[in-house]
Structure 1
């Protein structure tokens, strides 16, 4: 693709039409289409400019979010709320605190612990996807069997009524505990909207947890020890995520925690240590649905607030 910085208006319009066809998009009228085209152009130029600078540890790329402003993107796809309980930085009950030696790198995908990337679509329930990925992980580690579990079950039946407009990861864990189980995705498939609670009978439940714990806040060493034992659910500031494509996300990132994702590993790339996270925006976003965030930065909260409120299910 030629640089968008030198595109003519006509060639930009062709790119927009190609993008619309690729993602199956259409607009209600020409006025709306023109407004979205202007946003598309701005985003494409931003992506091209970033990649051409050649000084970054990560690349940006066009995706299905290309006609959204960053504010619109966050409002629609990053709808988690911070936990409803207080997390102590000196938790004496943190079960992995005595663990001193961990491997240099780990990718839970290599251990049959991570299910395929899912897509929450327009429902702002990243909180449910994050919790489910963590439960799938620990269940696979303990049982040796990886089962794709149901976000829709949590979305429809949780006692806190968290839904597509937002929720918390701890509420998702607490629902599974109180419900004494979670259905599989086959028994309770995802519908993209919050619906009536159904199929919530004991015979349909595939997995259970006895509760959840928090990793000590603002402590990436403790977080590393936890991830070395199981996938960990985290809250994040997703402000810089919209067009992430590959590499390790570095640079400035805030702590406005409105998104959830699940850490499924860690490693180092070109001298930069990173966390590997499973996201819920489909395989067309990011690195086939995953993102690498810089690890061990010089602020206690971690990159994009990753170390502020990590949680994990107990089985």
Structure 2
């Protein structure tokens, strides 16, 4: 065997070894992902109808994990992503779950006054949690009723400020009973209509009296006593983050936003700086604002996706960006209940 043949033989052997190593590595990675998917299913109680659906969801899970790991490796953003309960959903499926009805809001938003217009005392930072004004983070689950959670969180806040009593109020009463207008329970709605219902209903009962069941049902509030009331609601001037700050300095405020981006979906920690548009599809509650250690101004947002999402259920979003709508359209449609 001449030297040329020997070299070719060794090259062939090295290529075969390399191929085998890569195959083994791919197999190990696939096994690790499959095990991770199994553990994730157990953690979030996810059950699939059959093996076909399981494989489809695993493929989506794998793509989402790759996106999360790639983003975090880049390390060029002030926030991180993490695996959460939405890891086996496509972006389209995820957006359809939230339940904010953008088109209706623009038709019926009230022409109300903005009583905080001349508010001259604006602290450099506000966190209503520290004042005992915010109830623990809740979880809307698969029901598209973010509008109810946003409205109730704002009402819980003003009730505490007004009465000194912090109580968890009932989203389910809104979902089941606020049905004669544009709000449609788990099929979506918006906050101003919820505030109108609460005012006309002489308030809301507590969460314990009318517990959340993650689905729309028949109204069952005839024999319930309201635990808290409001006198109405007002809108924050649109596309005005400074006006929004004036309002949040006084009380928690319901806001709408574009939460359809995969980075928002998998937000884990830090100050979120994008990327997102202004296709409003989710409702949350602004419960404060501040500045991080790097000097980035942010909004403190209470979400309704449970404590395993974000910073124990909250997200800090960049504040005072160049676009007048605010990051993710947060300044486009905001309102608050009045005591």
For the pair 1:163 / 2:185, whether they are aligned, the reply is yes
From 295, 300, 303, the counterpart of 1:271: 295
The aligned residue for residue 285 of structure 1 is: 309
C-alpha distance in structure 1 between counterparts of 2:166 and 2:202, whole Å: 19
**Alignment deviations for residues 146-172 of structure 1 (CA, whole Å, 9 cap, x no partner):** 010000001111132521011111111
Q: List gaps (5 residues or longer) in structure 2.
A: 1-24
**Alignment deviations for residues 207-264 of structure 1 (CA, whole Å, 9 cap, x no partner):** 1111100011111111000000000000100023210111111033200001000000
C-alpha distance in structure 1 between counterparts of 2:237 and 2:275, whole Å: 23
Pair member with larger Rg: 2
For the pair 1:152 / 2:172, whether they are aligned, the reply is yes
Q: Point out the structure with the larger helix share.
A: 2
For the pair 1:178 / 2:200, whether they are aligned, the reply is yes
The alignment covers a number of residue pairs equal to 308
Q: The residue matched to 1:205 in structure 2 has which SS?
A: coil
From 17, 30, 50, the counterpart of 1:29: 50
Give 4+ residue runs of structure 1 displaced > 6 Å after superposition. Answer: 4-7
Q: How do 1:34-73 residues align onto structure 2 when only pairs under 5 Å count? A: 34-73=55-94
**Alignment deviations for residues 39-89 of structure 1 (CA, whole Å, 9 cap, x no partner):** 00000010011111111111100011100011111111344435242466x
From 109, 115, 119, the counterpart of 2:135: 115
For the pair 1:311 / 2:332, whether they are aligned, the reply is no
Aligned residues: CA RMSD: 1.7
The aligned residue for residue 296 of structure 1 is: 320
The aligned residue for residue 41 of structure 2 is: 20
Q: Is the 8 A contact 1:128 1:154 kept in 2?
A: yes
Q: Is the 8 A contact 2:114 2:235 kept in 1?
A: yes
C-alpha distance in structure 2 between counterparts of 1:199 and 1:176, whole Å: 12
- Of residues 170-179 and 21-30 in structure 1, the stretch that sits farther from structure 2 once superposed is 21-30
**TM-score between both structures, scaled by the size of structure 2:** 0.87
The aligned residue for residue 7 of structure 2 is: none
